Amino acid sequence: MFHKNIKLFFAALTIGLAVWQFIEGNIGNGIMFVLLAGIFIFLYFKNEIILLAFLRLRKQDFPGAKKWLDKIKNPEASLVRKQQGYYNYLNGLMVAQTNMNEAEKYFKKAVSLGLNMDTDLAMAKLNLAGIAMTKNRKREAEMLLADAKKLDKHNMLDDQIKMMKQQMKRAGVPRQQFGGGRGGRRGRR
């Protein structure tokens, strides 16, 4: 795993080589070096390890995705801010099935760092709303759910948001206790 500034150094170096090749009259080599520099710049903003982890997630291979994410030893040094957000977002998705407290930390950090796509941010807030609901923090869950609804501009998470609202309504209804009154055991003597 390369430090993010090393990628910029290689991009600058290859652009320098491209300029040198253009000056020497080797246009084909110069174009090749410009394209190579473009790859380094792309990998600066879109980390290769996170891209491979996303590919594993698309195949529902959670252990494989976790293995790729574990290769990033120091996310602050290796990733730009938005990619750190995705690193925490993916870790939150991995941990959400087993440890809610740790998943909540990852999702909150991902939201604070920011994510490029509004749908991903909406998904993170939806997960946070679900965690808040299980911890009986209804007001926080409602606010996060409203934020997720605003961010989901293409209605990709519409079904999940509706299902979460229904669960919140069911959780808010007081449970009736049977056994009291005329028909209950106490009423008969």
3-state secondary structure the chain: CCCHHHHHHHHHHHHHHHHHHHHHCCHHHHHHHHHHHHHHHHHHHCCHHHHHHHHHHHCCCHHHHHHHHCCCCCHHHHCCHHHHHHHHHHHHHHHCCCCHHHHHHHHHHHHHHCCCCHHHHHHHHHHHHHHHHHCCCHHHHHHHHHHHHHHCCCCCCHHHHHHHHHHHHHHHCCCCCCCCCCCCCCCCC
178 in any annotated domain: no
Same domain, 68 and 132: yes
End-to-end CA distance of the chain: 77
Q: What is the CATH number of the domain that holds 88?
A: 1.25.40.10
Asked if 34 and 123 sit in the same domain, the reply is: no
Asked if the structure places residue 115 within a domain, the reply is: yes
**Which of 86, 9, 71 minimizes the C-alpha distance to 44?**
9
Q: What whole-number percentage of the chain has pLDDT above 90?
A: 41
With respect to residue 177, please indicate whether it lies within any of the assigned structural domains: no
Residue 37 domain-assigned? yes
Question: CA-to-CA distance for 189 and 113, rounded, in angstroms?
Answer: 65
Q: What is the pTM of this model?
A: 0.79
Q: What's the chain's average pLDDT?
A: 86
The Cα–Cα gap between 56 and 51 comes to 9
Instruction: Look at residues 10, 30, 45 and tell me which one is the last residue of a structural domain.
Output: 45
Name the band, by pLDDT with cuts 50, 70 and 90, for residue 173.
low
Q: What would the two tokens of residue 12 be?
A: 């600058």
The reply to whether 59 and 7 lie within a common domain is: no
Share of the chain above pLDDT 70, in %: 90
* 38 and 79 inside one domain: no
Q: Are residues 132 and 94 in the same domain?
A: yes
Q: Tell whether 30 and 75 lie within a shared domain.
A: no
Q: Determine, yes or no, domain membership for 185.
A: no
Looking at the structure, do residues 21 and 57 belong to the same domain, yes or no? no
Looking at this protein, which amino acid is placed at residue 159?
Answer: D
Confidence of residue 182 (pLDDT cuts 50, 70, 90): low
Are 32 and 66 members of one domain?
no
Domain assignment present for 154: yes
The pLDDT of residue 175: 53
Structure tokens at 67: 């293995």
Segment 46-78, tens digit of pLDDT: 889 999 999 998 898 888 999 999 999 888 888
What residues make up the domain containing 100?
Answer: 47-172
Task: Report the chain's C-alpha Rg in angstroms.
Answer: 25
* Tens digits of residue pLDDT in 105-141: 999 999 999 888 888 899 999 899 989 888 888 888 8
Q: CB–CB of 104/30 below 8 Å? A: no
- Number of domains the chain contains: 2
- pLDDT (mean) for 30-38: 96
Q: Are residues 92 and 36 in the same domain?
A: no
In this structure, the answer to whether residues 123 and 32 fall within a common structural domain is: no
What is the rounded average pLDDT of the residues 19-38?
96
Residues 58 and 124 in one domain: yes
Q: Please indicate, yes or no, whether residues 10 and 52 belong to a single structural domain of this protein.
A: no
